[in-house]
């Protein structure tokens, strides 16, 4: 299905975005890759081209409407259109709200995680209408269930999830489908290391370890490609998180107790 299709991926210089770029290249998709990390993005594009596909690196910031418009224009002019727009760029956080010293963290999380997707979807939509394409947004299981120490991240992902659900209804009958991907923590990415502390700095090597419930980046990529191919509405990774979501509806106190326990366990493992 993806052979000779055009796939756009934001945040594609590392982590899940880079892994998705390689996964799409392996099945023959041409790529337009977007991030602010010039050297790393060009390396990912080059490695994808070695798999026999076109891969165009575009350097810019998802928080800039001008950069995002240029990204979409470049993808269309060089690759001929857009079949899949995959909004992956994002940052996380790890801090109690009362310990936050720089409230600008919240603005940054919203600008990257929410507006970063909006800034790309808006100029891409006319092209996706023409191709009857798929918008894919990497939200989070935290877009449905709150998690302590992640207040700003949860808020930004709630916003993105709600936007996608609303836009899906507006686009009914247009041929454009929207997939939201709601993963647990994903191993093999730098999201934890780059998560913001209460001081607004990246946690770096002091970042917490992933829980045993996390999924590998390879598992995530395989599931995401399958879900796009099937034009699904949503994808929850791993599937058993559906049980937690159901529990959150019928017994919220119990669900929150489980969540708090899992986060406390990881917080205690800091630096280990």
With the CA atoms of 220, 7, 124 and 82 taken in that order, what torsion angle do they form, in degrees rounded to the nearest 10? -140
Catalytic-residue membership of 153: yes
What's the maximum distance between 2 C-alpha atoms anywhere in the chain? 52
Dist CA 163 CA 123 (whole Å) = 16
Nearest to 152 by CA among 82, 200, 85, 208: 200
161 vs 24, 95, 114, 145, 243, CA distance in Å? 24, 22, 9, 12, 19
- Is there a contact between 75 and 85 (Cβ–Cβ < 8 Å)? no
Residue tagged active-site, from 2, 153, 163, 185: 153
The residues carrying an active-site annotation are 153
């Amino acid at each position: 299905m993806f052979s000779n299709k055009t796939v756009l991926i934001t945040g594609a210089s590392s982590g899940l975005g880079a892994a998705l770029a390689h996964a799409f290249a392996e099945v023959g998709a041409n790529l337009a890759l977007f991030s602010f990390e010039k050297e790393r993005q060009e390396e990912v594009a080059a490695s994808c081209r070695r798999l026999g596909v076109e891969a165009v690196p575009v350097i810019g910031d998802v928080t800039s409407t001008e950069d995002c418009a240029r990204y979409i224009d470049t993808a269309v002019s060089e690759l001929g259109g857009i079949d899949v727009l995959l909004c992956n760029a994002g940052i996380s956080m790890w801090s109690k709200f009362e310990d936050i010293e720089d409230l600008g963290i919240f603005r940054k999380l919203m600008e990257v995680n929410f507006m970063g997707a909006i800034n790309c979807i808006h100029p891409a939509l006319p092209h996706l209408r023409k191709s009857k394409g798929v918008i894919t947004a990497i939200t989070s299981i935290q877009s449905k269930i709150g998690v302590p120490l992640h207040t700003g991240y949860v808020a930004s992902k709630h916003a993105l999830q709600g936007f996608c659900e609303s836009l899906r209804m507006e686009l009914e009958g247009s041929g454009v489908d929207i997939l939201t991907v709601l993963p647990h923590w994903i191993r093999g990415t730098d999201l934890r290391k780059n998560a913001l502390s209460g001081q607004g700095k990246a946690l770096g090597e002091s970042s917490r370890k992933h829980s045993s419930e996390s999924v590998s980046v390879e598992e995530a990529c395989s599931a995401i490609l399958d879900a796009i191919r099937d034009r699904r509405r949503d994808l929850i990774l791993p599937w058993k998180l559906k049980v937690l979501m159901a529990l959150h509806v019928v017994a919220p106190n119990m669900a929150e107790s489980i969540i708090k326990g899992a986060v406390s366990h990881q917080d205690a493992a800091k630096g280990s």
